[in-house]
Structure 1
């Protein structure tokens, strides 16, 4: 983070505080994406509904890696951009839209500017509608008509971290890297102790790692809170099988 702090100092020395909100936003984007050359690890596909621009390499989701390589997924890029935005007094926050983390800047007078953290581009209502309904022009057009009044809910720091951890969880699940998957799930449970679905998934990870007693403990706790549904039935069956392995 020392590198980022030095970057803040360089940005402040340019008198950016005395500019309008629009001018500060342009200067910040030029500084972050052009001068510092932060950006996605690869060019993301346009309007993909659940794409955070970090491919399947878990390193692109870790803040320290993105700071060093200046390439990564949307979440760490957004966090770094927002840190710089604070220093130049931009009223900016992370927001979730269509499963993606975006940046919202509030210049005042009820206006909002929505930005893609992968490249700094502002997203019009038409762009947002297409992201919400990719490939469905009719539905996108209907959504676009309502988009000017859309209120995007600010994402809390806890929600942003959880989103980043869930991205990593999906990657490690796909790679069947159960040791690293367990580490991510432990962090998720610390962050969200009543996330029963993650608790159930952690039990399955324990089972894959041969940690039978811990898997049993998690499944028992899960079933104490979730009593119905297909996941509860599967958890009960898994619990019975694990008890037989004792």
Structure 2
């Protein structure tokens, strides 16, 4: 069961980041040319491969208990950030992320950034796709390497990210547009809960705690955090409605 959760966490987290990167790639490709977009993407993926190849084996030589303490703490921080934003978006306190709007904005920016040359590499298109893919890919690499090293199953975490890459890129090629139908906030909510659950579990183990249910405790933590999220979203929605009602009465 923990292996399934590990795979799903890596798959979903990677999917979210890859959808965001794909939006930039499509915007650049359609406005600045596919050559610069694809070369920028390839260069970023090559850099990411080197980073994973260098740091993956290094993490494998660190004792497991202190590694889980550090990684668990980082994952907990990372997950709570996604979790918090998803709660705020679900309750209406923060606007939902719109890939169509992002695509339109990036497309307009790409069109207005200097003239493209008929031959050679378009430097702006290359730089934009390289930076975007690298930044989003670093988050994917962090999740894959830390998840895999802490669980002792780097291959399974990498498989989750690899499947996400195939699925997202395949949909991107078929749809040839931003994946606006993907419920991104739902994905981020799920990933935030999973990262927080794994982070809590591993950080506590690294600190010397022994979970009574073993790996199955991750499911209990996931259920607990999901229940807490439901309560937070409901409370925030009521709070927002009360504020709006109060503002309406004063007006």
Q: TM-score under structure 2 normalisation?
A: 0.29
Instruction: Using CA pairs under 8 Å that are at least 6 residues apart, name the structure with larger relative contact order, 1 or 2.
Output: 2
Q: TM-score under structure 1 normalisation?
A: 0.29
Instruction: Name the one with the larger helix percent.
Output: 2
Instruction: Name the one with the larger strand percent.
Output: 1
